[in-house]
Structure 1
Amino acid sequence: MERISRKDRACWVLVGGRRRLGRALAEDLARDHDLVLTSSEPWDGETWVDDLSETARIRTLQWDAENPELVSRMMADLDRLASDGWAISGAVILAGTFPKSPLGTWTPELLEATWRMNLSFPFLCAQALGPRLVTDACLQLLLDTSIHHPWLERLPYSAAKAGLAALVPGLAQLLAPKVRVVGHALGAVLPAEGSDAGFLAQRTLLKRLGDPADLCRAVRFAADSPFLTGDILTQDGGRRWVDR
């Protein structure tokens, strides 16, 4: 059940706002934002969302990259939000997967699946959201430090993130001056299951992993920086300056 939003609360959309970094960002922003959270799966049983509803107005949507009606679904959902009085002043696209696919395992099906979730889906979400954001809004995309140093065992994934890196300045030009666009190239924050966290930490200048709070601070900084657009902020603990 939605509570009535205070007039001074900004409304943001988090695409992929259900798991890991998406959930962390939702919990942080709900302190002073109303939120629209999307997931590829139904939202049944997500009690933490009910907890957020105690202090913020929350709307949950199901946007599935596998749905052939995805584009019309997104448009209909955004039209419904507008008719219900949601003025969206920010959006963060976090959705993605992190598949391991070393050379020799690539197939047309594998590449299509990897690029659909990590490239095509964010492109379509940005296309739907960008023109519907209010004036002075900020659209933000989560990238990866693989845009600086490709993951050799995840090269199709790295290529997808490189494509998103090209989207940031291009979309900034298309949506200017109404909407700003900012990317975030994030290093190891929540390592994939089976990763050697100690090794990843030692491969940074700061000798530690990142924290979801690092992304939360950067997202808020980008939203509150009215002269920032078309750029990608990197938080990797200095990983890209360490000899491989």
Structure 2
Amino acid sequence: MGKTDGENRTWWLLVGGRRRLGRRLAEALAPEHDLVLTSSAPWEGEEAWISELSKQSHVRCLLWDAASPALVPSMMADLEALGAAGVRLNSCVVVSGTFPETPLGAWTPQDLEDLWRVNLTFPLLVAQAVAPHLADGGCLQFLLDTAIHKPFRKRLPYSAAKAGLAALVPGLARTLAPRVRVVGHALGTALPGPQDDPAFLASRSLTGRIGTPEDLARSLTFAAESPYLTGEVITLDGGTRWI
């Protein structure tokens, strides 16, 4: 499918949109939207992937590294340049995150700082930078985790970071209203890792299957296209938390 033209085609910013889940989301959204994709660093084979994606979408790529001391001025400069080039963002999705196993007894100040920088501080800095550049009625969206409902015992610092971000969704919605809407998505399994057992994960879902990046893309699109929705967290886990 080639690029579609017309006023229905909008620009989306996917922060962390060039790796794993972000990459799959970009592929799902490309037929209908133009994309700005960020990553902390290029990866092997990225140029070929972007070339293929560009057959369906106008694509721009940025480097935003959560660990960089120059992160904030870099984001501001990039966003100003996008605006000067006529790119008006309709939706921003913060995909970036880490998912380390950190059992009680193994925590160190540096480990906690690194984890919270990526999973909490970075999304907040992105929100602060991007919000002024979103179109009126635009939607700022955060990927959360069902750990906000039931924290992972071996990943409590991660769970705390996601819970903190979830708590900020209504606060940001109030702060940015009425011009910008804010929505969170608490995910179950959307893209199993190589160590996961898909059959077991499916058995823990009321739907009898695991989620897919396409399921998430539909939820993101619903939020972006629902002008009366803001300040809410949508749980997308196939009913897993009710088992």
Question: Normalising to structure 1: TM-score of the pair?
Answer: 0.94
Higher mean C-alpha deviation, range 177-186 or range 203-212: 203-212
Structure 1, residues 81-111: CA drift from partner, whole Å, max 9, x if none? Answer: 0111111111100000110011111110111
CA distances 1:98-145 after superposition (whole Å, capped 9, x unpaired)? 100111111101111110111111111111111211101111110010
Match of 2:170 in 1: 169
Counterpart amino acid of residue 32 in structure 1: E
Q: CA deviation at 1:6?
A: 5.3
Mapping of residues 139-178 of structure 1, within 5 Å = 139-178=140-179
- Name the aligned partner's letter for residue 12 of structure 2: W
Output the aligned Cα RMSD: 1.7
Give the structure 2 partner of residue 190 of structure 1: 191
Measured after TM superposition, the shift of residue 23 of structure 1 is 1.0
Q: Aligned equivalents of 1:64 and 1:198: distance in 2?
A: 35
Find out whether 1:124 has 2:159 as its counterpart: no
Letter paired with 1:166:
A
1:136 equivalent to 2:137? Answer yes
The match for 1:45 is: 45
TM-score normalised by the chain length of structure 2: 0.94
Q: Deviations over 1:140-178 (max 9, x none)?
A: 110010001101111100000001101111111111000
Partner Cα distance (1:25, 1:204) in 2: 22
CA distance in structure 2 between the aligned counterparts of 1:84 and 1:43, rounded to whole angstroms: 26
Gaps of 5+ in 2: none
Distance in 2 (CA, whole Å) between partners of 1:88 and 1:63 is 17
Question: Quick one: structure 1 residues 78 and 44, their matched pair in 2 at CA, closer, same or farther if it must change by over 3 Å?
Answer: farther
Using the TM superposition, give the Cα deviation of residue 199 of structure 1 relative to its aligned residue in structure 2, in angstroms. Answer: 2.5
Distance 1:57 1:237 in 2: 33
- 1:189 and 1:210 in contact (8 A); partners too: yes
Alpha-carbon distance in 1 for matches of 2:59, 2:117: 27
Greater alpha carbon shift after TM alignment, 43-52 vs 219-228: 43-52
Task: Name the SS for the 1:210 alignment partner.
Answer: coil
Report deviation, 1:191. Answer: 2.4
Bigger mean CA deviation after superposition, 96-105 or 44-53:
44-53
Q: Does 1:78 align with 2:102?
A: no
Residues 101 and 153, structure 1, Cα contact 8 Å, conserved in 2: yes
In 2, the alpha carbon distance for the partners of 1:115 and 1:58 equals 29
> Could you tell me how far apart the structure 1 residues matched to 2:236 and 2:44 are?
34
Kindly provide the amino acid, as one letter, of the partner of residue 228 in structure 2.
F
Secondary structure of the structure 2 residue equivalent to 1:78: helix
Q: Secondary structure at the match of 1:143?
A: strand
Measure, in 2, the Cα distance between the counterparts of 1:114 and 1:193. Answer: 22
The farther-off stretch of 115-124 and 41-50 is 41-50
Identify if the C-alpha distance between structure 1 residues 48 and 54 changes in structure 2 by more than 3 Å, giving closer, same or farther: same
Matches within 5 A, 1:1-244: 8-42=8-42, 45-46=45-46, 47-242=48-243
Whole-Å separation in 2 of the counterparts to 1:167 and 1:191: 27
Aligned residues: 240
